Structure 1
Amino acid sequence: MAAADTEKLAKLQSAVAALNQISQNEKSGFINLVSRYLSGEAQHVEWSKIQTPTDEIVVPYDTLASVPEDSSETKKLLDKLVVLKLNGGLGTTMGCTGPKSVIEVRNGLTFLDLIVVQIESLNTKYGCNVPLLLMNSFNTHDDTLKIVEKYSNSKIEIHTFNQSQFPRLVVDEFLPLPSKGNAGKDGWYPPGHGDVFPALVNSGKLDTLLSQGKEYVFVANSDNLGAVVDLKILHHLIQNKNEYCMEVTPKTLADVKGGTLISYEGKVQLLEIAQVPDEHVNEFKSIEKFKIFNTNNLWVNLNAIKRLVQADALKMEIIPNPKEVDGIKVLQLETAAGAAIKFFDHSIGINVPRSRFLPVKATSDLLLVQSDLYSVSDGYVTRNTARKNPANPSIELGPEFKKVGSFLSRFKSIPSIIELDSLKVSGDVYFGSSVVLKGKVVIAAKSGVKLEIPNGAVLENKEVNGPEDI
């Protein structure tokens, strides 16, 4: 590290030491991250060394052995498991104030309700005890505690813990924003889901789980409705002593920016678009060379997490995230949980069916899961077999539909889309009840005109600009 950087770090260290809002663990975690950032240890990948992983490293899902039918064997398997949902995100992009996991998905049930019902039905069916852990951020912590109270009588143990709270860095002076007088929430940030491993250990949750005989944690985003417990995967990992498994799935044109798994210098690792040299970005995005992408459904051995966190061995690539707060340029340094794959022993990927990746990032995704394309039973969201096309319809909704509230107000009921290929909606459009959409449909209201699609309308391969086109 250059002398000037060493001086910067020393100054930062004394400023951070004076922040009384965060723990000693958080202070040292933050300084550790910043010093790694300053020493420029960014791992550039040598393009020529990248190899496509074999089926031993990225195992095809359909080659996994089936699980013994015996329910006492299944109970034994499940008693080793913990489910952890990443619950630090706010639903701000979809116009919601609290945690994203409390957005209603179907029949008045939220993401969190569905997750609880799924795990309850497993615990009831097999007489096992799979606990649910929620990793919150300081943004979602208070709200989540209130929300989980409603599950106090359910057959499921729910634990919550917080990921770290780090100070945003003022770029010009390289000092923490809170010590510059911004002590509110804007002065801080949660450092990405790579923090799940140290946060599990620092919160004391990991030791509690190990003392209960738990061995594996299944980590997934709370908004991925496809991320449900899979016995075949769990069985495979225990049989083969894999410490880490990343679920990947075949890439479509919608996923070209997603990270992918590669073999590199004899190890499996995650390759993110940010690590790709400019001249190879198009190659990275091609579906031919890199056929799979990371779903962020991860299965990790708890003892291995403890070993690696204690040895300070999880040095995941740092993701610099520049932001602006009240006109001040700040920097957030973050890490991603998927990048930890290369530090664990016998790490693998499993190439899972697309049904295990059903995230709701925008209202266009909400339209899919609320439609007749999916049904819900025991908390599981399943795709309608009447849909013959394996791909989902592509849906583009204009800004009028961006927020959940306004999205819901524009549909008397969600249209039938079993035979829809693509839908593009723009302008001030409202849908009546029992509308059916098929093929390619474009609905573009003229500027300043309210366009209502009448109850029971069937639109097939149509472009609609006004009532006369229906």
Structure 2
Amino acid sequence: MSIGVTTPETSSSNSCNRCCLCTTTCTNHITKNNKNNKKKKKNNKNNSRGHSMSSVCDAAKKCIKIAMEANVVMGQMERPAEMCLEVQHDIEVAMEKELNELVIATAAAKQEKMETDLKDFQAEFARFLEHRPHVDWGEIEKLPNGATCQMVLKTIPSKHLANPPQLESYGTLRERPLPTNVAALLQKLVVVKLNGALGSHMGFQAPHCLLSVRDEHTFLDLVVEQIEHLNVTYGCDIPLVLMNSYLTNEETQKTLPKYGHGNVRIKTFLQSRFPRINKETLLPVSTPDLILNGADAECWHLPGHGDFYASFARSGLLQQFQSEGRQVMFVSNMDNLGANVDLHLLQHMLTPPERCAPCHFIMEVTDRTRADVEGGTLIHYEGKLRLLEMAQVPYEHVDDFKSVSNFPFFNTNNLWISLAACERLRRTNSINMEIIANQRTLSNGLNCLQLERAIGAAMKCFDNALGVTVPRSRFLPVKKTSDLLLVRSNLYACRAGALHLNDQREFQIIPLIKLGDEFTQVKDLQARFANIPDLLELDHLTVSGNVAFGKDVVLKGTVIIIANHGHEIVIPSGSILENKIISGNLTVMDH
């Protein structure tokens, strides 16, 4: 593998520019040190690639160290601040050398994929060195709570009115009647599920999509059932596309044959895999020896959903679906059980209202709650709607970002994207997303960085991008066992693969459930609940300590159960708990 590294422009002066955070002038450090570095490499080959910077001079190392230490923000990292071009060039050359060696060490059957992934990584790494993810806080224009398209237009400076951003309510979209030929709409749709994650955060060591959600049906079962229902009902052919990762692809592929006799065409493609980089050296953690010995599992990571655009285009599916006459793709997270195909949103993408320009990108947003304060929000910035993630927020404004009153909307990651616009932007290399470097600590204590991008961050690249405020019901993620307890309960009814809040629940607000460490894993949930309690009238449940539930328990109002350390609480079968606090030790035996 070989990717050219651009040589920085030479300065007419006798010394290069001073790195802004480094007190040492990098005086001609490349010309003076390159020869010495080459000699050192020949005589003393570095046995721990990715853990040192033998190919970067001491002045560069000092600059990087100082810059890195100055840019730690809430667990994320910025690029080394304002490094000079010579230092940046040295780092890129060193990185290219290390990546080439990783490709060479890879088994022949996997080399092509490895080379493709590392080319993508190297391009993103160069952007990481060049650009900061932070926004200029003073230039942000907040979107008012309850805003509609017309309200937003009034808040935008006149200099931006030539290309105004839009925010619309889902209720307004529903006011438009649907066409009589719904099948014609659906025939232009592709459904994409982001299927890169394992369920390991709940102790499920398999793809998250294979976790049982309702009546032994998995996430993937429910998605297939939803699309099959639409295909059968309307006589159409909506394809389902899964973006798998190196973590989920093998097990997911083994499962797909069971859907072979259904009325759903399933396609898959593989997203990239990026190397983690040493925080101190900015070189890969992985080494050829680790690859050859199969000991490099911790050295790699998923580059975030922003990898979708490049990987989807590279798979050939983008071109294939366009040749079939498909125009819109609905992209969402696999674990969001509220992300169902919506005909009104699809209609708005395909046939905009009179006097409205065609929309090429819709981001579904919903009312932000205290549980969502660290997630992405929607802002108006530099004349366009765009996604703002917490990692882009300057440290001194983190509390402002977390304020629900300041930023009332939350990104659900339900996205509607024009295939033609996606193809056009890809062809002109015009899709750009902010790079966020998240810090991680490996099991050996090594601090490293992983470069990630959010798929919604490309919103600013699309013409006439639109934010639609949708009901909270379209955001139903299952990331913790408390979420799993909710969706398995009688709070929800399942119809044609889609979950709907039970009509018998008096209030449409979802109960707040907090489960202690004893309930973290799926096996814990199953062991401590003989069956799922009746939660139809529950408002708030907190459970902590060694607590177990018998069969057919009913929970109403606010219920708090806390077992003291060393004690046990067993809720008897058939118990009805309404507005109760139970603590200490309780065991009821059958007589």
Bin for the TM-score computed over the shorter chain: over 0.9
Tell me how far 1:286 sits from its aligned partner. 2.0
Out of 568, 582, 591, the residue aligned to residue 450 of structure 1 is 568
Q: Does structure 1 residue 467 correspond to structure 2 residue 579?
A: no
Aligned to 1:411: 529
What is the alpha-carbon distance in structure 2 between the residues aligned to residue 43 and residue 286 of structure 1? 18
Out of 506, 514, 518, the residue aligned to residue 400 of structure 1 is 518
Q: Does structure 1 residue 30 correspond to structure 2 residue 30?
A: no
Q: Is the 8 A contact 1:249 1:351 kept in 2?
A: yes
Aligned to 1:97: 205
Out of 283, 293, 296, the residue aligned to residue 413 of structure 2 is 296
Aligned to 2:372: 255
Aligned to 1:132: 240
Tell me how far 1:68 sits from its aligned partner. 2.7
Out of 226, 230, 246, the residue aligned to residue 118 of structure 1 is 226
What is the alpha-carbon distance in structure 2 between the residues aligned to residue 28 and residue 319 of structure 1? 18
Q: Aligned to 1:150, what secondary structure does the other structure show?
A: helix
Q: TM-score, normalised by structure 1?
A: 0.96
Tell me which moved more, 420-429 or 8-17: 8-17
Tell me how far 1:445 sits from its aligned partner. 1.5
Tell me how far 1:386 sits from its aligned partner. 2.1
Q: Aligned to 1:332, what secondary structure does the other structure show?
A: strand
Aligned to 2:77: none
What is the alpha-carbon distance in structure 2 between the residues aligned to residue 128 and residue 369 of structure 1? 29
Q: Aligned to 2:198, what secondary structure does the other structure show?
A: coil
Q: Aligned to 1:26, what secondary structure does the other structure show?
A: helix
Query: In the TM superposition, what whole-angstrom CA distance separates every residue of 1:190-228 from its partner, at most 9, and x where no partner exists?
Result: 200011111101111111111111111111010000000
What is the alpha-carbon distance in structure 1 between the residues aligned to residue 265 and residue 457 of structure 2? 29
Query: In the TM superposition, what whole-angstrom CA distance separates every residue of 1:147-184 from its partner, at most 9, and x where no partner exists?
Result: 11211111100011110112221233332233353323
Q: Is the 8 A contact 2:313 2:319 kept in 1?
A: yes
Out of 337, 346, 350, the residue aligned to residue 234 of structure 1 is 346
Aligned to 1:108: 216
Out of 369, 373, 391, the residue aligned to residue 274 of structure 1 is 391
What is the alpha-carbon distance in structure 1 between the residues aligned to residue 587 and residue 201 of structure 2? 35
What is the alpha-carbon distance in structure 1 between the residues aligned to residue 337 and residue 203 of structure 2? 20
Q: Is the 8 A contact 1:67 1:231 kept in 2?
A: no
Indicate how the Cα distance of structure 1 residues 469 and 342 shifts in structure 2: closer, same or farther if over 3 A, else same.
Answer: farther
Q: Aligned to 2:205, what secondary structure does the other structure show?
A: coil
Matches within 5 A, 1:362-373: 362-373=480-491
Aligned to 1:59: 168
Indicate how the Cα distance of structure 1 residues 79 and 302 shifts in structure 2: closer, same or farther if over 3 A, else same.
Answer: same
Tell me how far 1:331 sits from its aligned partner. 1.5
Q: Is the 8 A contact 1:58 1:351 kept in 2?
A: yes
Q: Is the 8 A contact 2:501 2:508 kept in 1?
A: no
Q: Write the letter of the residue equivalent to 2:524.
A: S
Q: Does structure 1 residue 354 correspond to structure 2 residue 472?
A: yes
CA RMSD of aligned residues (A): 1.8
Aligned to 2:456: 338
What is the alpha-carbon distance in structure 2 between the residues aligned to residue 406 and residue 382 of structure 1? 26
What is the alpha-carbon distance in structure 2 between the residues aligned to residue 284 and residue 187 of structure 1? 32
Out of 280, 285, 289, the residue aligned to residue 172 of structure 1 is 280
Which structure 2 segments of 5+ residues have no match?
Answer: 1-83, 104-110, 150-165, 353-357
Tell me how far 1:130 sits from its aligned partner. 0.5
Indicate how the Cα distance of structure 1 residues 215 and 230 shifts in structure 2: closer, same or farther if over 3 A, else same.
Answer: same
What is the alpha-carbon distance in structure 2 between the residues aligned to residue 467 and residue 178 of structure 1? 52
Indicate how the Cα distance of structure 1 residues 456 and 166 shifts in structure 2: closer, same or farther if over 3 A, else same.
Answer: same
Q: Aligned to 2:206, what secondary structure does the other structure show?
A: coil
What is the alpha-carbon distance in structure 1 between the residues aligned to residue 265 and residue 587 of structure 2? 57
Q: Write the letter of the residue equivalent to 2:312.
A: L
Pairs aligned (count): 468
What is the alpha-carbon distance in structure 2 between the residues aligned to residue 151 and residue 290 of structure 1? 42
Q: Write the letter of the residue equivalent to 1:9.
A: E
Out of 175, 178, 191, the residue aligned to residue 68 of structure 1 is 178
Out of 260, 269, 274, the residue aligned to residue 161 of structure 1 is 269
Tell me how far 1:67 sits from its aligned partner. 4.3
Tell me how far 1:467 sits from its aligned partner. 2.9
Q: Aligned to 2:364, what secondary structure does the other structure show?
A: strand
Aligned to 1:6: 89
Tell me how far 1:462 sits from its aligned partner. 0.8
Matches within 5 A, 1:316-331: 316-325=433-442, 326-331=444-449
What is the alpha-carbon distance in structure 2 between the residues aligned to residue 410 and residue 468 of structure 1? 14
Tell me how far 1:189 sits from its aligned partner. 1.5
What is the alpha-carbon distance in structure 2 between the residues aligned to residue 15 and residue 306 of structure 1? 32
Q: Is the 8 A contact 1:67 1:235 kept in 2?
A: no
Q: Write the letter of the residue equivalent to 1:58.
A: L
Q: Is the 8 A contact 2:134 2:394 kept in 1?
A: no
What fraction of aligned residue pairs are identical, expressed as a percent? Answer: 44
What is the alpha-carbon distance in structure 2 between the residues aligned to residue 308 and residue 386 of structure 1? 47
Point out the structure with max Rg over C-alpha: 2
Indicate how the Cα distance of structure 1 residues 419 and 230 shifts in structure 2: closer, same or farther if over 3 A, else same.
Answer: same
Q: Is the 8 A contact 2:436 2:451 kept in 1?
A: yes
What is the alpha-carbon distance in structure 1 between the residues aligned to residue 91 and residue 243 of structure 2? 32
